Amino acid sequence: MLMKTLITTVLLIVALASNGTSPAAASGVDRQELRPVPSVHTTIDTSACVGEPVQELREEFHQTYPLSATGRVRLENLNGGVQVKVWDRAAVQVDAVKKAYRQNRLAEARIEVNATEEIIRIKTEYPDQIQNFRSGERRYDNPATVEYMLTVPRKAVLESIELVNGSLDIDGVEGNVKASSINGRVNARGLSGEAKLSTVNGPLQAAFTQLDDSKPISLGSVNGNVTLIIPSNSNASIRAGTVHGGISSDFGLKVKHGEYVGHSIDGQIGAGGPRIKLGNVNGAIRISHAQDGLPMSPAAPIPGEQVGEADQAVEVDVAQAVEVAEAVRVRVETARIARQAQREAQRQVDAALRDAQREVERAQRELMRDQSRTQRMESVNRSRGVGSGAGVVEAYGGRFTSQETRSFTVSGSPRVSLTTFDGHVTVRGWDKSEVTYTATKHSNDEDSLKQISIQAQQQGQTILVNAVHGNEHQGSVSLDVYVPRNSTLHVTSGDGALSVGGVSGDVVLRSGDGPIEVANGGGHLQVNTGDGVIKVTKFDGLVDARTGDGAIFLDGNFNALSARTGDGLISLTVPAGSSFTIETNAPNEINNEGFIVAEDITPSPRLKRWRIGNGGKVFVLKTGEGKILLRSH
């Protein structure tokens, strides 16, 4: 049987188009001067520039920054590869080389570093988010590429390494690793911590020197083979799935074949241990043992698993392989599976019954919201003498704003991608076959305001809205958007708050540090914020919620649930009489209101499992020192 998450991932990729790098770096950036040096590898083409040779220009960057032995490292690079190696010093050495054929192209690419003793942020900045690469003679005007070599403390945490066009090589990092590339291979070796690695167009290989029960592993690709190498005597629980690709294992794990498409593995080796999730769409998965001379661990099914539950359990989260691929435009043809369609139809019927009870309330709220917005706009126009048109500039209190509104006619289940470098985003579901947005630009001066642009386009059932900042990185853009209720939705803001209501579909929300709120929805929800609060209310479906240290509030009827925060509170509210299992790393017992809770068998001594009611599906709730509250409604 083809797993729902795999099909969902393919559908997500269909409509997504590239919108460049992620939000701008924070203020206070430490800009280091680049030193021009003669090119080591000179490129000459006598056919270009009217017979004049073209030499590749280079500039080098070398700087060392203090960083604690377990400090965090973040890097964003648009064009160029990255290598990461380790040493035993409490510092990060950044070595980079910029390359271009034009001096203006070389100068416009800036390396920006923001460093403290706890975290270092490195980013390549370009004047435009969208970079076009050409071939032939026109390649000499291509944007600059930047190649990085980072030397980090051995136990440092690679909190986020994000590449668009370039390969990634990691060697010997013992801390947790999260890294991805869209167009390029990913190769990591000598790992021993929690790892989340992904690529879209390229192979992925990860080799581990040891596995830890408390440190899960997640690897994913869309177009490229995935290879996992672990010690021969490992203990682990492995779940893997592909859509169009084979699966093989040195450990004798049994491969299940889908009724129509897809292959999967769902089992354990040895005594079981850390959860390993592997996903692929158009590529193979290979599970290999290291050439270490150790005895091989035997394979076995996961204890207590029922026949028929295995396929449902193997809903591999390939979406993590596509987290960095919001910007990629791909045309994919995929088959509709009869049984999946029936399940989806039943889900929609159930959702329709629930929606009918809330429809009057929603309509009233939307009407009041529209009336309030109209009154505010009329008041602003009367007080400021604002004229009509696509965009109007207003000045008050030393602050300038400009606003534009556009609508797109759609049908069925549209795919909507919204991005702003900074500013809040509000999305509401409605019953119209139409996507409407109002973008409000804010800046402290008129010149900076003019450098902010809104890029909006429609490609079939795909709507893309992208707020782009100017060179000064000043200002913000807030988006107020209405979409059909059954939309596929991707929303990203640099640091602004995100709010979504009344949307039931595949929803992905990301903010640098802002709070995220979702209400009256359903389907598959992924939310991620640096340190903001996450609040999900009246939601039916699957939820994956992550924040650095903020609190997480969850209220709904969940089919699957994962919530992670550094040290924040996790509050879970579910229907009275529910039965499920909570897996957590929290040292204390769950604060419980109205449920029968009993400690259950755990796959690891570093984790705890609590059986709620009769137990059942496992909800993963992880917080360092925070509390977990369990309530009923």
Q: Where are the chain's structural domains?
A: 1-31+181-333, 32-166, 347-388, 391-632
Please report the DSSP string for 194-225 in residue order.
Answer: -EEEEEEES-EEEEES---TT--EEEEEEES-
Question: Rounded to whole angstroms, how far apart are CA atoms 52 and 208?
Answer: 51
- Would the pLDDT of 406 be above 70? yes
pLDDT at position 85, please?
Answer: 97
pLDDT at position 135, please?
Answer: 63
Mean pLDDT over 355-359 rounds to: 48
- Would the pLDDT of 494 be above 60? yes
Task: Give the other-Cβ count within 10 Å of 85's Cβ.
Answer: 16
pLDDT at position 372, please?
Answer: 52
Mean pLDDT over 101-116 rounds to: 92
Q: Dmax of the chain from CA atoms?
A: 82
| 3-class secondary structure, 458 | strand
Question: For residue 59, how many C-alpha atoms fall within 13 Å in the half-sphere facing its CB?
Answer: 22
Nearest to 366 by CA among 425, 456, 441, 426: 426
Asked which of 171-180, 470-479, 532-541, 624-633 is least confident by mean pLDDT, the reply is 470-479
Mean pLDDT over 47-57 rounds to: 55
pLDDT at position 52, please?
Answer: 44
Structure letter (DSSP) for residue 556: E
Residue linked to tokens 């021993």: 192
**Mean pLDDT, rounded, of the chain:** 78
- Which tokens hold the place of 533? 């609060």
The bridge status of strand 608-612 relative to strand 580-584 is antiparallel
Mean pLDDT over 22-36 rounds to: 36
Segment 144-159, tens digit of pLDDT: 999 999 999 999 999 9
Asked which of 91-105, 444-458, 543-557 is least confident by mean pLDDT, the reply is 444-458
Question: Rounded to whole angstroms, how far apart are CA atoms 268 and 236?
Answer: 6
- Would the pLDDT of 275 be above 80? yes
- Give the neighbor-by-neighbor strand order of the sheet with 285-289: 35-37, 57-66, 91-100, 145-153, 82-87, 168-171, 186-191, 204-208, 226-230, 285-289, 247-249
Structure letter (DSSP) for residue 615: -
Virtual torsion, Cα 544, 549, 550, 554, nearest 10 deg: 30
Res. 32 pLDDT band, cuts 50 70 90:
very low
Segment 364-386, tens digit of pLDDT: 555 555 555 555 555 444 444 33
- Would the pLDDT of 547 be above 80? yes
pLDDT at position 282, please?
Answer: 85
Question: Rounded to whole angstroms, how far apart are CA atoms 53 and 49?
Answer: 7
Residue linked to tokens 């000459």: 44
Asked which of 137-141, 181-185, 315-319 is least confident by mean pLDDT, the reply is 315-319
Mean pLDDT over 521-535 rounds to: 90
Question: Rounded to whole angstroms, how far apart are CA atoms 217 and 46?
Answer: 50
Question: Rounded to whole angstroms, how far apart are CA atoms 522 and 517?
Answer: 14
Residue 112 identity (one-letter amino acid): E
Between 228 and 605, the more confident residue is 228
Res. 444 pLDDT band, cuts 50 70 90:
confident
pLDDT at position 243, please?
Answer: 84
Residue 195 identity (one-letter amino acid): A
- Which tokens hold the place of 148? 């990085």
Question: Rounded to whole angstroms, how far apart are CA atoms 591 and 573?
Answer: 12
Question: Rounded to whole angstroms, how far apart are CA atoms 519 and 338?
Answer: 31
- For 456-467, letters b (16+ CB in 10 Å) and e give beeeebbbbbbb
Question: For residue 144, how many C-alpha atoms fall within 13 Å in the half-sphere facing its CB?
Answer: 26
Res. 332 pLDDT band, cuts 50 70 90:
very low
